[in-house]
Chain A
């Protein structure tokens, strides 16, 4: 899989480095280093990191969950209450 972090947006919260330490590392207290092409066995951990990034700085081309329209039937898609 391929990953890119927008380091202009990244604020070094390290959520990625907590959840996928084999793909994301901190250099010092907030400088992020990462594997741009991590092996496929890291996929789940990386997707966890992508979701957890507080500023949504991580992008990947790995299969993303099906689009909302397919999953949320329109009739039930109102306010959850």
Chain B
């Protein structure tokens, strides 16, 4: 490596540190813009970060790029579990597990399951708004964005309502520890994550047994009692349930919270949404581009030497795919830093791309669309109490911790 390359990679590493720095959580986009200047950024820990749209999409579709941490020459603090969830698996296991999980969640076998949730989601959201004070101030993370996702996924999967609170607590511990290496006090976080994971796994395993004894129409029950076609082992079923419960929780909370925040910062958009509730459809897509709840995918590994623009990403190296940077790549999107749901071309990578494309995306869309329409339609003259709001610690799963909003009247 030449001296100038070394200098440049020191810059790259520093930029990635800035992304992780809580100071910059409210606006990491200028840093992503700098990371995009180079196609490949070598980081301090030997991993490679890429932020251009074409490169991110290209690598998400590249068979030489693995999601399985076992292939990493330096897996770091990542949890190496055998029979991990399918988000950490490669084909053919990934494909097999995902397709079994899809059997009772979506097409071709269960096409109406997700869209069939909509009435319940709408009424749940409506109840949440009803529960807000008639006027004054409310935290719309705690009281609007937060309660919905866990409740919906628990309902779909077949976790009893009474256990939802326990799930929320475990999920929090797990999610907080996911990118622990980026944060202070990593060891504690990792330990908590592992404890929560073990506890939750134990619970889910027991739940599967219960569903075997007393089947109902829920996803878990149907998976546990499915004797047609391919089946999951009990371990796989547990890992999959855990994944579904965790992956859709904080991400969806953040999408809704980012949406409320963006609408409050763009009053014209709030007015427009009030006048035209269907406008929420492109609005949510633009949010996924503009403020993606998952900012980057830190977990890829090169299975072979991969050449990108003359730089070789060596076999075994970790690859960080900066989806938030790709979503604002000026080579892909006109005026990328402008929030513009009418741009027409919103081919974002907020849900990833390729075989690991978000499993729960249709559900997340319906949830966020319902929450944002209700927020716009029912709270008169809402204003932000603090901008920027306080953020959650994670740079990967990025979103406001609280969103204090004052309003004149609840409709």
Q: Do chains A and B touch in the complex (CB under 8 A)?
A: yes
A-side interface residues toward B, CB under 8 Å?
Answer: 13-15, 17-21, 25-29, 44-45, 47-48, 51-52, 54-56, 64-68, 71-73, 76-81
* Structural contact, A81 and B290, CB atoms closer than 8 A: no
B338 pairs with A27, CB closer than 8 A: no
Verify B345–A47 contact, CB threshold 8 A. no
Report the bound CA distance from A78 to B337 in whole Å. Answer: 8
B114 at the interface (CB under 8 A from A): yes
Residues of chain A lying within 8 A (CB to CB) of residue B343: 68
Contact A21 B340 (CB under 8 A): no
- Given A65-B282, A78-B338: A17 in contact with B365 (beta carbons within 8 A): no
Residue of A nearest to B365 (CB): A52
The reply to whether A51 and B285 form a contact with Cβ atoms under 8 Å apart is yes
Residues of chain A within 8 A (CB-CB) of B361 are: 15, 52, 54
Contact with A along B363-403 (1 / 0, CB 8 A): 00110000000000000000000000000000000000000
The answer to whether A81 and B115 touch across the interface, beta carbons within 8 angstroms, is: no
Instruction: Report if A52-B285 is in contact (Cβ < 8 Å); known contacts: A44-B278, A79-B337.
Output: yes
5 further A-B pairs in the complex, CB-CB below 8 A; given A65-B341, A79-B337: A17-B106, A52-B365, A65-B282, A65-B342, A80-B266
For B353, the chain A residues whose CB sits under 8 A away are 54
Q: A52-B361, A71-B342, A72-B340 are in contact. Are A18 and B111 (CB under 8 A)?
A: yes
Residues B114 and A18 in contact, CB atoms below 8 Å apart = yes
What residues of chain B have their CB less than 8 Å away from a CB belonging to chain A?
27, 99, 106-108, 111-112, 114-115, 262, 265-266, 268, 272, 276, 278-279, 281-282, 284-285, 290, 335, 337-347, 351, 353, 357, 361-362, 365-366
Closest chain B residue to A47, Cβ basis: B281
CA distance A51 to B341 in the complex (A): 11
Q: Which residues of A contact B337 (CB under 8 A)?
A: 79
| CB atoms of A26 and B107 under 8 A apart | yes
Residues of B within 8 A of A66 (CB): 342
B342 touches A67 (CB 8 A): yes
B residues in contact with A56, CB < 8 Å? 345-347
Instruction: Given A25-B111, A44-B278, answer yes or no on A80-B342 (Cβ-Cβ < 8 Å).
Output: no
Question: Are the C-beta atoms of B266 and A68 separated by less than 8 Å?
Answer: no
* Pairwise interchain contact B279-A19, C-beta atoms closer than 8 A: no
Bound state CA distance, A56 and B282, in angstroms?
Answer: 12
Pairwise interchain contact A80-B338, C-beta atoms closer than 8 A: yes
B338, A14: Cβ atoms closer than 8 Å: no
CB-based contact A29/B99 at 8 Å: yes
Let me know if A80 and B108 touch, CB within 8 A.
Answer: no
Of the residues B27, B111, B276, contact of A17 by C-beta under 8 Å: B111
The answer to whether B365 and A19 touch across the interface, beta carbons within 8 angstroms, is: yes
Task: Determine the chain B residues whose CB is within 8 A of the CB of A65 once the complex forms.
Answer: 276, 279, 282, 341-342
Given A26-B107, A54-B347, A80-B290, also A21-B339 (CB < 8 A): no
- A21 touching B108 in the complex, CB below 8 Å, given contacts A65-B279, A66-B342: no
Other-chain contact of B272, A18, A21, A26, A71 (Cβ < 8 Å): A71
Partner of A73, one of B268, B344, B366: B268
Residues of B within 8 A of A68 (CB): 340, 342-344
- Give the distance to chain B from A15, nearest Cβ to Cβ, in Å: 6
